[in-house]
Amino acid sequence: MTVTTIPFHHPERPSSEFRPLKAWHHFRKLIADKEDTEQVFHIIAALRGKQFRKVAKKFWFSDKGQKILGTNQRLIDILDDHDTLKKLPAGTVGRAYVDFMEREGLSAAGLESEYARFESSGKRFNDGIDRYGDRLRDTHDLHHILTGYGRDALGEQCVLAFTYAQSRNLGVGFIAYAGGFELKRRVAPKAAIMSAVREGHRIGKAAKNIVHEDIVALLREPLADARKRMGISEPVMYRRAHEEMRNAGVDPYDLLAPVAA
């Protein structure tokens, strides 16, 4: 195995990235303005912790990790090449992904742009940790496709719980569970919100790590086959929570408006 000359841990990077008070400060800002995506990145950076580094380091020094992370391949260029993805057969991961992104008006570059706002307030080390984090960021919407979680408020918390199980980034886990609690407390106290979030964590823990996949090959794979191969089970509690919210007159995709009669 040939190890890239890029260090996994840049010597100028702080040895500790566990600052709970800083994370809480930015979480309160996120609660005040849920569209302020920059706060998410602050929380994730403040609570990366040792377990995240262990997961990232193990992949970094594997043959597969060196092949993927040791190159200058940008997932954004692949994921935002919608013309190429549209040529894939119907039912593939790539076709499902591009349909989802265009329907929602999203792009991988858009998330990177949001991240740049956070990055401008700190320092990028361009080491293995940064590259692993970039891969985790750029595959976020691919996580939605593979798990079946939507972009509704609960779907986002469940995707983050799934991601936390795979990345072991405490910041991601904090947002998933704290956000789920806020959702249950403020919007749907009788729905199985936290059960759905915990289920997302269990599904992520049992599944193969999406970040460690060959994304180009994954995009060509039939979606049903990819989910089966990676051990991603159905989000039963998420769907039940949606049903319970609708029964209570709450639209899961528009939490500020009642369900039409």
124-176, pLDDT tens digit by residue?
A: 888 889 899 999 999 999 999 999 999 999 999 999 999 999 999 999 999 99
d(CA 162, CA 141): 12
Residues contacting residue 260 through CB under 8 Å, at least 6 positions apart? none
- Residue 15: is its pLDDT beyond 90? no
d(CA 108, CA 118): 16
- Residue 120: is its pLDDT beyond 70? no
- pLDDT for residue 258: 42
State pTM to two decimals. Answer: 0.90
CB of 171 closer than 8 Å to CB of 47: yes
Map out the domains of the chain as residue ranges: 20-250
